[in-house]
């Protein structure tokens, strides 16, 4: 069975590439090993799909080549995708920080993509596992549903996050088969696990605190969430892309407040430290934080050294982590097919003519908040103009 384009992977990037190629009159086949398409789209954003962010800039992405994403992002913008969503009369809202979500269900985004595929005459096969890919004059893709030949082959298989949803290393294997470099992969946007001396904080599981979390030059002001193993929440997921490999993460528990000034100006207060701090932070947190980090005595009895130590912990708590909760809990995968190997204009391999890589399988990883979906749309669009 001969096609102009075979796309392996019916996620966000693969479907979007198929739509664009189909609009150009290309005969397109999409192969998906799961029983349904867009499984990660369906579970994203708590079932409401944070489909893009109004404020997308290259600085919101991590890659060994920070300039690589610029071309695709400029040619297919968040506004372009918003217009498509509006065309399909999908109601959406802005949650915070430019994040856009479906008002009803993420299923609407999948249905929109499938409708666009139908209009572009794209053929989709689910429960279709690829066994072998070869290239002679054409690409030959052998599957459990037969062999397909094509002039162009697009790898849109995603990364390693959410293996329960069918994630595999297939895309990286194909890249290596054709001699392409892979940037080392690791879980990203992922909860972090406390180092040994912080085990006592596990009692705070379920407690959320507004904080400013930083590592090196990167900082995020959002909530942190204590878990049974360590920390999660938006600020932690964001910093996990930067703060692994035994680097200390700095947590300001009183952002925009000077803890030293607060304690010094209340030096006669007879409340216990945990009770005093509970006007700024959750009760359960102050109780355990005071117990584990300080002598929990009246503020008025704190020595100058104790006041300074307490203030430093509140505005600059240095936390070490033993690692992450792994790909099972990671939103995305950091690393992937090296951008050195691909054209930033077309997503085509520089080594192998007509072989393309789009979406998460590429070494471009966005922040939390709709950026990874925008990369999927933009990179899929870019390849779709050329396959």
Residues 9 and 93 in one domain: yes
Distance in angstroms (rounded) separating the CA atoms of residues 99 and 51: 8
Write down the pLDDT at residue 247.
76
Looking at residue 244, what is its pLDDT? Answer: 61
pLDDT in tens, 84-119: 999 999 999 999 899 999 999 999 999 999 999 999
- Do 273 and 348 lie in one domain? The reply is no
pLDDT at residue 293, as a whole number: 86
* Residue 34 and residue 88 share a domain: yes
In 10 A of CB 178, how many CB atoms? 15
Residue 222 and residue 76 share a domain: no
The interaxial angle of helices 371-384 and 12-23, nearest 10 deg, is 30
Q: Are residues 288 and 349 in the same domain?
A: no
Longest Cα–Cα distance of the chain, Å, equals: 83
Single out the residue in 274, 296, 324 at which a domain terminates.
324
Contact 375, 336 (CB under 8 A): no
Instruction: Supply the range of the domain harboring residue 287.
Output: 192-324
Averaged over 321-330, what is the pLDDT? Answer: 94
What are phi and psi for residue 28, nearest 5 degrees? -115, 135
Q: Are strands 355-357 and 146-155 parallel, antiparallel or unpaired?
A: parallel
Q: In the chain, pLDDT over 70 holds for what percent of residues?
A: 99
pLDDT of the residue at 74: 98
pLDDT band of residue 360 (cuts 50, 70, 90) is: very high
Give the confidence band of 14 by pLDDT, cuts at 50, 70, 90: very high
- pLDDT of 199 reads 83
What pLDDT, on a 0 to 100 scale, did the predictor assign at position 235?
98
CB 248 within 8 A of CB 318: yes
Could you tell me whether strands 230-232 and 355-357 are parallel, antiparallel, or unpaired per DSSP bridges?
unpaired
Report helix, strand or coil for 83.
Answer: helix
Query: What's the total number of domains in the chain?
Result: 2
Which tokens belong to 22? 């189909």
Instruction: Note the pLDDT tens digit of each residue in 51-64.
Output: 999 999 999 999 99
**300, 268 in Cβ contact below 8 A?**
yes
79 and 144 within one domain: yes
> 116 and 243: one domain?
no
Domain-terminating residue out of 324, 346, 376? 324
> Residue 313 above 80 pLDDT?
yes
Q: What is the CATH number of the domain that holds 7?
A: 3.50.50.60
In terms of domains, do 106 and 173 share one?
yes
Vertex 340 angle, CA 162 and 384, to 5°: 65
Q: What is the mean pLDDT of residues 310-334?
A: 95
CATH label of the domain that carries residue 197? 2.40.30.10
**Quick one: which of 356, 375, 373 has its CA closest to 364?**
375
Question: Based on the domain organization, do 221 and 144 belong to the same domain?
Answer: no
Choosing from 324, 339, 359, the residue where a domain stops is 324
Domain match, 81 and 206 both = no
Q: What pLDDT does 245 receive?
A: 59
Q: Indicate if 310 and 338 belong to the same structural domain.
A: no
Q: DSSP secondary-structure letter at 67?
A: T
pLDDT tier at 246 (50, 70, 90 boundaries)? low
* pLDDT value at residue 198: 86
Q: Are residues 347 and 306 in the same domain?
A: no
Q: Tokens 């994630």 appear where?
A: 167
The tokens describing 56, both together, are: 């997308």
């Amino acid at each position: 069975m001969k096609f102009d384009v075979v796309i392996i992977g019916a996620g966000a990037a693969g479907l979007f590439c198929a739509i664009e190629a189909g609009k150009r009159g290309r005969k397109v086949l999409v192969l998906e090993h799961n029983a349904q398409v867009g499984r990660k789209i369906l579970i994203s954003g708590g079932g409401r799909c944070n489909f893009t962010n109004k404020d997308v800039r290259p600085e919101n992405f991590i890659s060994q080549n920070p300039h690589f994403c610029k071309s695709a992002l400029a040619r297919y913008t968040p506004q372009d995708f918003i217009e498509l969503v509006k065309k399909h009369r999908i109601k959406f809202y802005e949650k915070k920080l430019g994040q856009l979500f479906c008002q009803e269900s993420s299923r609407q985004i999948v249905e929109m993509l499938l409708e666009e595929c139908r209009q572009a005459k794209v053929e989709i096969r689910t429960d279709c596992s690829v066994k072998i890919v070869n290239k002679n004059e054409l690409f030959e893709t052998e599957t459990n549903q037969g062999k397909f030949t094509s002039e162009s082959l697009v790898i849109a298989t995603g990364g390693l996050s959410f293996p329960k949803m069918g994630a595999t290393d297939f895309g990286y294997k194909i890249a290596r088969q054709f001699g392409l470099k892979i940037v080392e992969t690791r879980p990203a946007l992922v909860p972090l696990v406390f180092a040994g001396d912080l085990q006592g904080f596990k009692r705070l599981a379920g407690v959320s605190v507004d904080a400013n979390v930083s590592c090196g030059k990167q900082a995020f002001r959002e909530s942190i969430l204590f878990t049974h193993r360590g920390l999660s929440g938006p600020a932690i997921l964001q910093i996990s892309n930067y703060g692994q490999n035994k680097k200390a993460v700095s947590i300001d528990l009183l952002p925009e407040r000077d803890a030293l000034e607060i304690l010094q100006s209340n030096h006669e207060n007879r409340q216990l430290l945990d009770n005093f701090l509970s006007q700024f932070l959750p009760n359960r947190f102050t109780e355990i934080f005071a117990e584990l980090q300080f002598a929990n005595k009246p503020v008025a009895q704190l020595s100058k050294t104790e006041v300074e130590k307490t203030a430093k912990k509140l505005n600059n708590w240095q936390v070490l982590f033993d690692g992450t909760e792994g790909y099972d809990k990671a939103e995305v995968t950091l690393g992937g097919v090296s951008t050195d190997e691909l054209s930033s204009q077309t997503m085509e391999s520089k080594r192998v003519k007509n072989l393309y890589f789009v979406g998460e399988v590429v070494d471009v990883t966005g922040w939390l908040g709709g950026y990874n979906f925008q990369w999927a749309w933009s990179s899929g669009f870019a390849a779709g103009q050329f396959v």
